[in-house]
Chains A and B, each alone.
Chain A
Amino acid sequence: MSGRTRLTGRLPDTVTAWLARGVIVFLYVPIVVVVVLSFNDSDVTYRWAGFSTRWYGVLAQDTDLLSALRVSAEVGVVSATLATAGGLLAAMGMGRLGPRGRALFSGSLFLPLVIPEIVLGVALLSVFGTLKASLGLTTLVLGHLVVTLPYAALIVLGAHRALDPALEEAATDLGCGGWQRFRLVTVPLLKQALLASWLLCFTISFGNIVMSTFTSGVGTTTLPLRVYSLLKTGLTPEINALGTLLVLFTFVIILGAGLRQMRRVLVGDGTD
């Protein structure tokens, strides 16, 4: 019996193992290609013409691209922070609602997830137009908030729901006021989730192109918009050089800080 189970189990196991390897290769090949081609001496990305680091030099001089990078970083940090704060507040508020209110509230929070982003973008643009709001950093952050807030709420709400309510009750029993309980018990317990939410929101904001198309304004061309608009004149390995630096940066962040937290949150050990 047990022998048969092992036999039938072995073939699918091998297949899934190879499938998994294939998927991993498929996921990482583009990244490797980006890195390799960033050291390309050629003027075009697709043809190899010898090793060179000249595109890193070009990148360091490219003020337009660097200012786009700065805009993206700023917008990413601000919208990730605001979205995570919003997610935390949503989690707190949810506890005070009855079951029906809770369903309605979470439904309205997650609705933007299922509405195509381009619809939200056009809608926001008309709202800004009607209000005669000038497009810029503020509208860009607001647009990114619409996109990131549902994700932040999803993560923080999930983690908060997994918390043992007894911990907060115990804090109250021991004499904590509302603010004290929030600051000393709830937030520390949710720390992992908050960090995971922040990193995810930052990544989403940093790579966003659709919403940025509609909400960016004077002096706020983001990095993805800039790269996309370069397609008309042709991409050079300079973009690969930038991509390589960003990959490196992400690796440092993930290895240095994010990995442990991410795993805990994703595995569900939210109580930590």
Chain B
Amino acid sequence: MSRTTVSRTLLATSVLTVTALLATACGGSGSTTAASSGGGKNLHVYAWAGEIPDSVVKGFEKETGIKVTVDTFDSNETMTAKLSTGASGYDLVEPSQYTVQQLIGQQLIQPLDHSKIEGLDNLAAKFRDPSYDKGNKYSVPWIWGTTGFAYNDTCIKSATSWKTLFDSAHKGKLYMLDNMLAAYIAGLQVTGHRATSTDKDQIAEATAALVKQKKILAGYNSTNYPQLLSSGQACAAEAWSGTAMAKVVQSNKNVHYVIPSEGGSIWTDGLAIPKGAKNVTSAYAFITYLLRPEVAAKATDDGSSASANQAARAHIKDKDALKNPAIYASDAAIAKADFLLDPGTAMQYFQQGWTKVKAS
């Protein structure tokens, strides 16, 4: 008896769901049509998880009546794949800086009409006219972070240079990020080159430095290195700024996050409008909304990320975050930091070199 009931329930559920699916499908296409003809009452956003706080989305919906759908991706590549179909349905995407370059190259995003955006002046100097997108022609930076290193002062008194991570005095207590491009930031800068280098010989030099360094490393780690630093198991580790690192810097006074004197590097996730977006008016409205200082402040207060908006800093309630270098590195520290760019054809030199490092 129970079996029959179960199969019936399953059948009923399935039928209900099919009906619901058809209903939503029809509803969805119907509203899209309405939006494209009626001036935009919808907005489809494709962003990194957690980078556009829910409070921001709700606030925008309440103020404008535009219905926002936010989908999240796990990597720039996933997002690029979707856009490359040409019919992704998204009106606003959030690529990282090197992906902005790639999307421009593949003609997947459209130039921004600056007359439809207010508040670009609020951006910090570093993000106005960045190297990867001259004049913010295609993208508006939203949040940012850095790649540097962190150390525990119980075993290293003070450190300001990448050389710390290449110093055999700390053998077996050093970690590097398990990430090719991140490792090469250190490798290139410690050998006196820029992190944006695409020169074959310079990359080979960096590879040699990284191979040599591997002998004194405890390992490559991009997951729990903040904890290793906190427990003292690691003396120094290459590190990404962000929530995990910031928590350790906050809770353990012995751990310090540093942008190395050689420059380190900086990344930013910005807003761009895909080619063929249907609700362009809504997308511009959302960009303008996100550029408001009090809204951008929520990226820090509700999302624990650093905002690219200079004017927002006065509105941030979490003053500790502003002082935490693992969230907001100081202006002086990032002055020399390069945006990592799309290495283009030099990618193969990095890949071959990294294979050599990993196999050594």
- Chain A residues within 8 Å of B, Cβ to Cβ: 43-44, 46-47, 63-64, 74, 77-78, 80-81, 122, 125-126, 128-129, 132-138, 141, 191, 194-195, 198, 213-214, 216-221, 225-226, 228-234, 256-257, 260-261
Contact = CB atoms under 8 A, between A and B. Distances in A.
Contact of B49 (A46, A129, A232, A256): A232
13 contacts: A44-B247, A74-B21, A81-B14, A126-B85, A135-B82, A137-B21, A138-B25, A218-B89, A225-B74, A226-B49, A231-B74, A233-B242, A234-B243
Contacts of B70: 64
B238 interface: no
Contacts of A191: 3, 7
Contact of B21 (A64, A78, A133, A134): A78
Interface string B1-29: 01100110010011001101100110010
The number of chain B residues touching the other chain, given as a range, is 35 or more
Nearest to A220: B71
Contact of A132 (B51, B72, B87, B244): B87
Nearest to A198: B10
A228 B50 CA distance: 12
B244 A135 contact: no
Contacts of B275: none
A226 B7 CA distance: 31
A135 B85 contact: yes
Nearest to B44: A218
B48 interface: yes
Interface string B32-68: 0000000000001000111100100000000000000
Contacts of B69: 218-219
Contacts of B151: none
Contact of A232 (B2, B74, B247): B74
B86 interface: yes
A137 B21 CA distance: 8
Contact of B87 (A81, A135, A219): A135
B89 A129 contact: no
Given A231-B74, A233-B49, 14 more contacts: A78-B21, A81-B18, A125-B81, A135-B88, A136-B28, A194-B7, A198-B10, A213-B78, A219-B69, A221-B72, A229-B49, A229-B73, A233-B304, A256-B6
Contacts of A44: 244, 247
B90 interface: yes
B47 to A, nearest CB: 9
Contact of A78 (B14, B28, B227, B303): B14
B330 interface: no
Contacts of A256: 2, 6
A229 B85 contact: no
A218 B3 contact: no
A128 B87 CA distance: 8
Contact of B82 (A141, A194, A217): A217
Contacts of B89: 134-136, 217-218
Contact of A129 (B73, B85, B304): B85
A232 B94 CA distance: 14
